[in-house]
Structure 1
């Protein structure tokens, strides 16, 4: 007996193109925080550790995700970081420092060069952040010279003396981190940050004109200075920066699943509001340049906040921000990815924060196993199969109201067309908690295409989690969908995340 379904419709056409998807939208983030570095990517005593002390089991999982770029070394940590502490050797003589953002001891056993080595092993580029909290123009230009200049100067020759003959050629750079936040070491007003960022950008571009720069946007859309910060800082950085950053995390403290799943609509509004502000400054400056967005911190984060208050200060790599993700978290993560794909014309870089142990898709035990959290799966499928052109689907879906949102569509999709592979991919979240969605999808523009795979992530328990050796949430490929007379019929189970992949026969 077929369960009672809710019906929706969608039209997908090759001509309804949003833009080419920049692969960097599937980026991630490693900060010197908790066990992200020490015990996460780097653990010399681990059974799988390679010759550089990097965990091979973690490398394998990161490679599976096909992460194209990783932001480093912070985050809040970068605002009091002296990059010189983490280069050169012998490593045991590197200074141990009080790390003020997270109140731990930083051993500096991993620094710029080690991280570049690790990024190469996982086939990712580095997105480097400079310290505009306690430092500024001088440290930023020196770090860039160290990383990117071929040789014959003090800093580039220092890199060579550290065993790196060839430059690292890091092309994407963040001008500080969350400088609007009072918690930030060296917190600035919009005017102070805008001036410093513009002058730092000027100096960095003189060192290497080929780099791209990210100007700090608001730390989240609830900041009291949100948008005023964007408008005022962009007055200074508009012509020298390529992107403005967005950061946003969501939680479900209220234990209201229907409202939680709608929070990607807040993300959508955030993106569109920042775009409008960028375009206002463009018009005001009579500029021909379009400012793009770098959503370089995004995720679900709320589970670990209470236990983090109990951490002993000044320890080395304590477990911090170790959210254990639920099944419902994975559905929201899927919808957050869909939201960015639907804005791929402006969101060109995005970093799931973070990658290992710290609010992360990958978890490890020190000396033990590494495993996939629930949120690993929507990230994996979207990164691997969401390459190509984002299409704008015309959607007709029944809706619901929740505590904070009205007119929430049960169907939340993103559509990607890969012409080279002759492949059409439909990602979809069914937000309905009780009923399957039967969706009639007009695919007449894709004549001769048929379903090759329908992956479903579903679970009866919204709070189901994955632990070491205990994978309670994982996808299956038994989804119901078929093509008939130019129409794709997709059955999306209640409370599920889906990927339907079609290829030309």
Structure 2
């Protein structure tokens, strides 16, 4: 029997603009993501444009991806950008030591990445090499990409086929430098960040936004010690060199990607929703040093991390993607919207064939995962004004086997509660967009939505749901999980009753009266 769960939306209580960059993505040289996920080469039988896989481009264009991070990840702090420019036959063959000593042909480099971004309509975000590179190397890469005038580097870019500069705005100064990027302390990294940042210049009207390596999950000390060191430099405060600070947060696997119990479903979703504590905790520490929030909080790696699929190489991080992963994506995006005043950019890991991918490819085939459909469903939130969303739904989990881990995601170690319904709401030109997740894997609910100080007449409903809590798309059955056709519902002034299937994501849109 369906239970009634109540939520309240307050259109007159704005939170902040939902930055489109919150719906960003990530593409690392890892597993089958770049080769052959994105780049198949100019001699391939697979349909392509200058080596870029057509099916991937065609699938991603409708998502209006705002920003794409590249080339890593751990790969970034071993990547030397000159390996990936110029004639491909002259590019060196390297090893990828972070991901199974795989061969890296460097066929896909700076120009190819920019071409791919332009093909799908995304803004590029480059992760620079601080771990094994030099300030001069990063300085030269920025000039090569962004300078419009005459210089040896700009002329080299022109000789390589790009007359106009790329105008790359976002530059990460290293990645995970507490781990694979150098095993540094916060103070060591702060010193190196400041050194590298000194030589990253603005060129030809492109103002670089430098993004520092932030913490892994709930590492509060990394954030505090980094900002303390930046603020207490012996000659001056160095915080004005920071435009962004990037945290990472992955949901550890509960079960496998496709085989899990109801309890493991609830455990994973509770971990996903606990990202709220990561955002509020790190932003609180940052605010002590940066009360005007000149430095943006970014979550440039997030998503689920399950055991690798049987038959796939461990270092390739290939995993299937079910309706459970879709709920994780929806819960996370809703959290970003509800904290639109605190977080500016986020990048799901990763785009194709790796971790919580949008697309899976095999041979010449390309399929969309349930997570892909979440990003399609949530598009209307991009750039809209987030408004207050309050869930009064019952608590259904405190994290199951990971309750202590979920508790530690709060800087105050407060227990985190997964409710039966989570969601977010936004306004644009008088249209209200509400997205809600029924977090229970087997129990449908009746949603009682109350609109405070406003009313609706007609509402469009679109749902992503499945008959089985393990449902996923395969190459044999690519449409098992997909968006349902829109339905029109009648609202009664300030109230709307909606049936939410078990383990589902629903978007409700209507004009406020």
Output the TM-score relative to the length of structure 1.
0.89
| Cα separation, 1, equivalents of 2:392 and 2:230 | 37
State the match for 1:413 in structure 2.
423
Match of 2:128 among 127, 130, 137: 130
Match in the other structure for 1:464: 471
For the aligned residues, what is the CA RMSD?
2.3
Asked whether 1:253 is paired with 2:239, we answer: no
Alignment of 1:267-286 (within 5 A): 267-282=275-290
Q: What residue number does 2:211 align with?
A: 214
Q: In structure 2, how many angstroms separate the alpha carbons of the residues matched to 1:281 and 1:206?
A: 25
* Structure 2 Cα separation of the partners of residues 24 and 263 of structure 1: 23
Partners of 2:145 and 2:72 in 1: how far apart?
A: 17
453, 462, 468: which one aligns with 1:455: 462
Larger mean CA deviation between 464-473 and 236-245 belongs to 236-245
SS at match of 1:217: strand
Aligned counterpart, 2:406: none
The count of aligned residue pairs is 482
On the 8 A contact 1:442/1:487 being kept in 2, the answer is yes
Deviations 1:345-390, CA, capped at 9 Å, x for gaps: 1211111111111121101113x21010121111221135544111
Query: What is the distance in 2 between the residues matched to 1:33 and 1:304?
Result: 13
Corresponding residue to 2:2 among 2, 5, 28: 5
Offset at residue 263 of structure 1 (A): 1.6
CA distance in structure 1 between the aligned counterparts of 2:283 and 2:221, rounded to whole angstroms: 16
Displacement of 1:250 after TM fit? 1.0
Q: 2:85 aligns with which of 67, 84, 87?
A: 87
Q: Tell me the distance in 2 between the aligned counterparts of 1:62 and 1:378.
A: 13
Which stretch of structure 1 is more off in the superposition, 44-53 or 453-462? 44-53
Q: Could you say which residue in structure 2 is the equivalent of 1:332?
A: 328
Q: State how far apart, in whole Å, the 1-side matches of 2:283 and 2:272 are.
A: 17
Q: Residue 262 of structure 1 aligns with which residue?
A: 270
The DSSP-based 3-state class of the residue aligned with 1:248 is strand
How far did residue 438 of structure 1 move?
Answer: 2.2
Judging changes above 3 Å, is the alpha-carbon distance between structure 1 residues 433 and 463 closer, same or farther for their aligned structure 2 residues?
closer
CA–CA distance in 1 between the matches of 2:165 and 2:502? 51
SS of the residue 1:400 aligns to: strand
Q: CA deviation at 1:206?
A: 5.5
The alpha-carbon distance between structure 1 residues 75 and 229, as it changes in their structure 2 partners (threshold 3 A), is farther
- Determine which of 292, 317, 322 is the counterpart of 1:321: 317
Question: 1:272 & 1:232 partners in 2: Cα distance?
Answer: 18
Find the aligned partners of 1:324 and 1:458 in 2 and give their Cα distance: 17
Q: Partner of 2:197 in structure 1?
A: 201
| Superposed counterparts of 1:70-85, under 5 Å | 70-85=68-83
Pick closer, same or farther for the CA change 1:395–1:230 going to 2, 3 Å: farther
Q: Partner of 2:304 in structure 1?
A: 300
Work out the CA distance in 2 between the residues paired with 1:482 and 1:425: 15
Deviation of 1:136 (Å) = 2.8
439-448 or 111-120: which moved more?
Answer: 439-448
Q: What's the CA shift for 1:445?
A: 3.8
- Tell me the distance in 2 between the aligned counterparts of 1:153 and 1:415: 49
When residues 231 and 425 of structure 1 are mapped into structure 2, their CA distance, relative to the original with a 3 A threshold, is same
- CA contact 1:218–1:229 (8 Å) conserved in 2: no
Whether 1:191 and 2:198 are equivalent positions in the alignment is no
What's the TM-score, normalizing by structure 2?
0.88
* Bigger mean CA deviation after superposition, 376-385 or 43-52: 43-52
**Is residue 397 of structure 1 aligned with residue 405 of structure 2?**
no
Secondary structure of residue in 2 paired with 1:15: strand
Q: Give distance in 1, aligned partners of 2:289 and 2:171.
A: 22
**Is the 1:397–1:409 contact (alpha carbons within 8 Å) kept by the matching residues of 2?**
yes
User: 1:178-229: per-residue Cα shift (whole Å, max 9, x none)?
Assistant: 1011x33x332211210111222222136577111111101333x5954445
- CA deviation after TM superposition for structure 1 residue 134, in Å: 0.5
Question: Structure 1 residues 38, 309: closer, same or farther in 2, change over 3 A?
Answer: closer
Please tell me whether the aligned partners of residues 18 and 381 of structure 2 are also in contact (alpha carbons under 8 angstroms): no
8 A Cα contact 2:247 2:300, kept in partner: yes
With over 3 angstroms needed to count, the CA separation of the structure-2 counterparts of 1:36 and 1:480, relative to structure 1, is same
Post-superposition shift, 1:326? 1.6
Gaps of 5+ in 2: 404-414
For residues 86 and 55 of structure 1, the distance between their equivalents in structure 2, rounded to whole angstroms, comes to 19
CA offset digits 1:62-117 (Å, max 9, x no partner): 1121101100111100101110011112x111111122221211101110011101
Counterpart pick for 1:50 among 43, 48, 54: 48
- In structure 1, the partner of 2:172 is 174
What runs of 5+ residues in structure 1 fail to find an aligned partner?
Answer: 312-319
CA distance in 2 between counterparts of 1:430 and 1:84 reads 48
Q: Are 1:234 and 1:278, in contact at CA under 8 Å, matched by a contact in 2?
A: no
